[in-house]
Structure 1
């Protein structure tokens, strides 16, 4: 049983590392979006008097980019909050609770990453594979004791708090 817990803990820590990588990628894409917004604003400043009809299209693009930036910002805040709390759960010896919470976190991320850059979806899919593996291990070890895997109220509270802070659905 101790070996199973240690395996679960190591996989949860791997998942946390992937969450960090995902957050770094989200922050990178936020900076790319900011750079594009700045370039478009510069374009508008230079061409607004010459080609006013083209500036309207560019302004719409800027608005779209601002919406994307806001969404990426919300995802980043959510990830930062979740990473911190999952680390705390894992370090305090609740790796199983963190693993089960991770499953719900991945559902939220999948829902919120469908319109983002493909690399973000790839990382979420990788997390999903690891999470499924962890849950399978937990179920196999708990089957012997006749217990089922459920998200603890503590883990649900953590997820809901992170969603509220970030403004993510």
Structure 2
């Protein structure tokens, strides 16, 4: 299994529904098959809009697209799609978040890998991007959003840092993230 970045454009020729299915050509079949059972981050390319990295989902399976020679569908595990609390920019301090998109000096690459619709993503980079889009303290932020005094009786202990995959699968965290997105933060 391998983490992936999936490029998504709302007006593309591919019939993506990010929370249900990712439509892709044969050229990416090997990489997407490697990602089955693992997580992928959705990315909006520069030409499509300003969002950058905007959601995460788990790939459940891959199948041939009916009636479309050379096209395939990555089926998204039901209930796994989660929009980020805040979109993650393509660059931080002028540097790409993906090492595959960086030159050796850290500056952004142009063409080639930057334009690939499916990219493999190292675990550490996946965790960093998800951490930026879905912060550790999201539940605390939500609890104090409407009542800033709600935590005045809480002990100010050091927060437990949950691994990224545990946060993505914990129901309470997912519920808070979803609720914040629906409410528009």
Give the structure with higher Rg (CA): 1
Greater share of residues in helix: 1
State the TM-score bracket (shorter-chain normalisation).
Answer: under 0.3
Greater share of residues in strand: 2
TM-score w.r.t. the length of structure 1 is 0.23
TM-score w.r.t. the length of structure 2 is 0.22
